Amino acid sequence: MKRIKSDLLFQNANRVIPTGIYGHMAPGAGLPLDFPHFCSSGKGARFTDVDGNEWMDFMCGFGAVLHGYRHEAIEQAVQKQRELGSVFNQPHFLMVELAEKLVELIDFADWAVFAKNGSDLTTWAIRVAREKTGREYIIKAKGAYHGVDAWCDPGMGGRISSDREFVLEFEWNNLQQLESLLVNHSNQVAAVILTPYHHASFGPSELPSVGFWKNVEMLCKQHDAALVLDDVRCGWRLDDSGSHNYFGFCPDLAIYSKALGNGYAISACVGKDKFRTSAADVFLTGSCWNDAYAFSAALASLQISRENLVAKSVLEKGKYFCSKLEEVGQEYGIKLKMTGVPSMPYPWIEGDEDLYQIQGLCKFAAAEGLYFHPHHNWFISNALSYEDLDQALFIAKKALGKFVEQ
Amino acid sequence: MNDLITSKTLPLWAAARSIYGCGVECLSAKNSQSLVPRILPSGEFSFGTSLIFSPKSFVKVIEGGFALPKIRYFLTAPTGTFRSVINLARVGKVYRSPSQIKEIHGMLNGSLEAICCYLNHHLVAKKAFHDESSRTLTFEIKGMQRKWLIKMDGSNGWQVGACSSLDRASACLAFNDIEVAKNAALGALDSWLSLTNAEIILSGRIPLLDKFGYVSRIAQNEVPRPGR
């Protein structure tokens, strides 16, 4: 892969931006010598980097794109809104339309609010739970990602000791630990915040064990703690009406982002009626949060998801791709297991606790133009056709062969 | 002695261990022994058996100025004290202008010693590495056999030592050549850029290296170095 402009741009970036590129897209978090640093365009399930290399994509902007880059119907909706404007003194009327759509789609939702990023609303939601319960503690799963705020971010800098004073953790699927925390902090826990399944980076994803969600729901009810679903990453990839339906439980509050706007920045929090007053009392605003472009993109995106049963589609495509890729691995004696749900699989090689093998494999895949991330769950774009998947499998086989040879 | 290492004394303790770590690589075994550091209950820093500095004098020594050690040992144990003084000066020279490979190895070893002090005694670093005690890190220079291994060694805490080329750690940092390693040890390497131009290659458990990088930046900010 040619990489000249990418490197030059990174040098420039590094002069004017701390670390050049930060967060989950920082070169060090992926494959700094194999992935491009900057992109220039994308269409469907492929993107082009600044050096003109075309990549078949299995990351979808880290989940922010579900229907493919520059999806025609979504771009048309946004273009229509561009002629009218984006941010005004008052919210655009599309905000109401979008809230109504979410309340209609999501069975437990009685209201919705909007922001730009998942973090905006995971943090806001736990404040709503605190306001409602008058309690301080929050319980989360160890290693789970809920955003960039000090109570939960995975970094190390800029913290003070009180940031996590009221955050408790339990091991995913360990109901006994969760119950102990609730009992030991009786009448002090405001909320339990969880993702639909455990999709931490740098390790295999873990699905909820049988009865996990029903028990979590019951424990939250018993202890009067709000059950907050962080559906930012999974939302619209497991079920077209919220991932709680996929696993069969009912949260009190849920947060969505990423796929909701198909690349346009928007997040939403929906909740039950009993949280409405508390929601009203926790201040919420942002400079460009009433962005009509994003509202129009989200409305179009939701419509496509509904009409084309997109969650079902990406689950099926993912299942096809994952099982075939595991077979290819077996052919070469690599115990590759695609963990988690098939629409956002995490690749795990048995015995590769320190990730050397998956890093090697993804390097060879990158050399062939496949964007396979070694440390993060992948995302299956609905723009990938079965022909695309077969092509990706063919290339992956070639890459695996080279990897094994090495 | 652990009780004597506080947030106030840690930077100088790390500097003292770094000097010793450098000496181990660059000097004979006998000479490096003359640089074994201790913190005394009085808050002073000693090297070997008899060279003692107040914290203020020690900072001056590190930063290249002239500082008087406690004079009485020059009279009661002149040979040992003199050996420590000479060896301290030798290590100081290495830090100012490393040129030979073993000197660069010495600086790297010294840097890793200093970071280990932070892993063992700095509150934030200890917390960050609390769950990592079963994991190990290696550091290597491409094309060279010498490798460094950082691992938890029971009650001794995190320690840096040699490792064989067969050892595969949880995470590995490889310098592309000796010059890159030298710049890294001098704190003159842009770590973000060096990741993208293959001066530094990271592999294995990246979050462990992230944490290590964070702790090393804390140490780099706090530990006095020659010429600073």
Q: What is the mean pLDDT of chain B?
A: 91
- Chain A nearest C-alpha distance from B106 (Å): 27
Across the A:B interface, residue pairs with CB atoms under 8 Å apart total 58
Q: Under CATH, what is the fold of the domain A72-307?
A: Aspartate Aminotransferase; domain 2 (3.40.640)
Asked if pLDDT for residue B227 goes beyond 70, the answer is: no
The amino acid at residue A203 is G
> Least CA distance to A33: which residue of chain B?
B196
Residue among B128, B192, B203 whose CB faces A356 most closely: B203
Asked if the C-beta of B194 comes within 8 angstroms of chain A's C-beta atoms, the answer is no
Asked if pLDDT for residue B1 goes beyond 70, the answer is: no
CATH number for the domain running over A5-70+309-405: 3.90.1150.10
**Interface residue of B118, B173, B192, B209 to substitute, partner A, most A CBs within 10 Å:** B192
For residue A35, CA distances in Å to A263, A360, B112 come to 20, 13, 30
- How confident is the model at residue A128, as a pLDDT? 98
Contact B205 A354 (CB under 8 A): yes
Residue among B197, B201, B205 whose CB faces A7 most closely: B197
Q: Under CATH, what is the fold of the domain B119-222?
A: Nonspecific Lipid-transfer Protein; Chain A (3.30.1050)
Count of C-beta atoms within a 10 Å radius of residue A370: 20
CB A272 within 8 A of CB A253: yes
- How confident is the model at residue A327, as a pLDDT? 98
- Chain B nearest C-alpha distance from A17 (Å): 11
> Least CA distance to B213: which residue of chain A?
A156
The ipTM estimated for the assembled molecules is 0.93
Contact B195 A202 (CB under 8 A): no
Q: Where are the domains of chain B?
A: 2-96, 119-222
Q: What are phi and psi of A220, to 5 degrees?
A: -60, -40
Asked if pLDDT for residue B165 goes beyond 90, the answer is: no
Helix (H) or strand (E) holding A220: helix A212-222
Q: Cβ contacts of residue B33 below 8 Å, gap of 6+?
A: B48
Q: Which of A54, A74, A118, A69 has its CA nearest to residue A381?
A: A69
Asked if the C-beta of B170 comes within 8 angstroms of chain A's C-beta atoms, the answer is yes
Average of per-residue pLDDT across A354-375: 98
- How confident is the model at residue A107, as a pLDDT? 98
Residue among B128, B205, B209 whose CB faces A156 most closely: B128
Residue among A27, A354, A359 whose CB faces B195 most closely: A27
Residue among A154, A159, A354 whose CB faces B171 most closely: A354
Q: Where are the domains of chain A?
A: 5-70+309-405, 72-307
- How confident is the model at residue B63, as a pLDDT? 83
Rounded Cα distance, B205 and B225, in Å: 30
**Confidence band, pLDDT 50/70/90 cuts, at residue B75:** low
Asked if pLDDT for residue B68 goes beyond 90, the answer is: no
- How confident is the model at residue B98, as a pLDDT? 87
Asked if the C-beta of B86 comes within 8 angstroms of chain A's C-beta atoms, the answer is no
- How confident is the model at residue B220, as a pLDDT? 93
Span A87-123, pLDDT tens digits: 999 999 999 999 999 999 999 999 999 999 999 999 9
Q: What is the 3-state secondary structure (H, E, C) of chain B?
A: CHHHCCCCCHHHHHHHHHHHHHHHHHCCHHHHHCCCEEECCCCCEEECCCEEECHHHHHHHHCCCCCCCCCHHHHHCHHHHHHHHHHHHHHHHHHHCCCCHHHHHHHHHHHHHHHHHHHHHCHHHHHHCHHHCCCCEEEEECCCCCEEEEEECHHHCEEEEECCCCCCCCEEEEECCHHHHHHHHCCCCCHHHHHHCCCEEEEECHHHHHHHHHHHHHHHHHCCCCCC
**Chain A residues near residue B193 by CB distance under 8 angstroms:** 10-11, 14, 20
